Amino acid sequence: MFKFREGFWQKVAWGRPDSPQRPLCSMCHGALPEVPLMLWAEDGRAIQLCDTCTDEWIVGVAGSS
């Protein structure tokens, strides 16, 4: 499980479960790379992050040293 910087969950824009995937980052709304990081909530909502936002907002992996 990823660990995110404080404030991440208040800034990210979740897509609805029935919405088509958008070609924009869910954080900065910039263009996505060919293979973005994508995360889903249990109810089907999704986010996708560009490489810059992934590098900026993910600070580690829970449970790893």
pLDDT tens string 2-50: 899 999 999 999 989 998 888 999 999 999 999 999 999 999 999 999 9
Widest CA span in the chain? 37
The HSE-up count of residue 46 (CA atoms within 13 Å, CB side) is 15
User: What is the Cα gyration radius of the chain?
Assistant: 12
Indicate the residue type of 55. Answer: D
Contact present, 30 and 24 (Cβ < 8 Å): yes
- Structural domain including 26 reads 2-61
Query: Does the pLDDT of residue 64 top 90, yes or no?
Result: no
Q: pLDDT value at position 28?
A: 96
Provide the number of structural domains found in the chain: 1
Q: What are residue 47's phi and psi, to 5 degrees? A: -130, 155
